[in-house]
Amino acid sequence: MTTTFTLLHPGAMGARTGGEATRTGTRVLYVPTGRSPASLQRARAAGLEPADSLASALAASDFVLSVCPPHAAEDVAREVLAHPFRGVYVEANAISPDRTRRIAAACAERGVPMLDGSIVGGPPGPDSAPRLYLSGESEQVARLAGAFEGTRVVARPLDAEIGAASALKMAYASYQKSARVLAAVSHALAAHHGVGPELAREAASLTANILAETDQLPSVAARAWRWAPELGEIAATLRTAGLPAEMADGAAAVLGRWADDKDDHGLTVDEVLRHLRTEG
């Protein structure tokens, strides 16, 4: 039996993700009404099928896949839940676990099952295979994952409840997005002082994959008492240059949570991570 999706808001990520599902024989619908010319072109290029209305798309669908700007996630869910729908709502946006659980509660009130999804990586393409993590009811997860089997969207079920997939996205994006912003600030500071080429040369020599190097975290905690004042100097330098210093201030505050770990090189990674949490 053919599985049918309704894809909400076919942006670059959503349209190309839906397009991968069509490679397995999945029917992927979208509603062209109100969409921009760019969105319509993306949908056509991905092989998605236009529907007359959201109501008609929902009536034909086993799943609704919501991939939209994060701020719109709850509004989009409300729009869907205002219609009769007998399928599974898939919340696949970059939103907090709390927002995901609110949407799940709204779905439950209307008798609509929901899966929590998160997409890690760029839109699928010749050199990109994003991972679609899914948490929720196992049979529904397995059915949705099957729609992407053998495609450039790698479905990865999580043996966990609603909120787990969203939490993974938040953890990954916390580093990925912040690192890009921090890089921009660093290059702006170097350019202000006329040492941009030198910073670029140093950057080219870096080999570390910092997010993967969890074994280095105990050393960071043990040296936090020395790093915090340096971050204070960095913040002052940024302010003098007219650049945002909030990330440096924030990093200094994080280091302060390891104040009691001064020169303690016997800490485990679990202890270091636990010391970052506030009580309660």
Q: Residue 161: give its domain's CATH number.
A: 3.40.50.720
Overall domain count for the chain: 2
Question: What was the pLDDT predicted at 280?
Answer: 45
The predicted-structure confidence for 105-159, as pLDDT tens digits, reads as follows 999 999 999 999 999 999 999 999 999 999 999 999 999 999 999 999 999 999 9
First to last CA, the chain: 49
Please tell me the distance from the alpha carbon of residue 272 to that of residue 280, in angstroms, as a whole number: 17
Identify whether 185 is part of a domain. Answer: no
Same domain, 52 and 145: yes
Q: Report yes or no: 70 and 92 within 8 Å, Cβ to Cβ.
A: no
Instruction: With 0.85 as the threshold, say if the pTM is over it.
Output: yes
The pLDDT tens digits for 147-192 are 999 999 999 999 999 999 999 999 999 999 999 999 999 999 999 9
Q: For the residues 27-51, what does the mean pLDDT come to?
A: 93
Tell me whether residue 253 is in a domain: yes
Are residues 118 and 13 part of one domain?
yes
Residue 179 lies in a domain: no
**Domain of residue 8, residue span:** 4-168
Instruction: Tell me what pLDDT residue 279 has.
Output: 65
- pLDDT (average), residues 81-86: 94
Separation CA 227–CA 248 (nearest Å)? 11
Distance CA 43, CA 37 (A): 10
In angstroms and rounded to an integer, the radius of gyration of the C-alpha atoms of the chain is 23
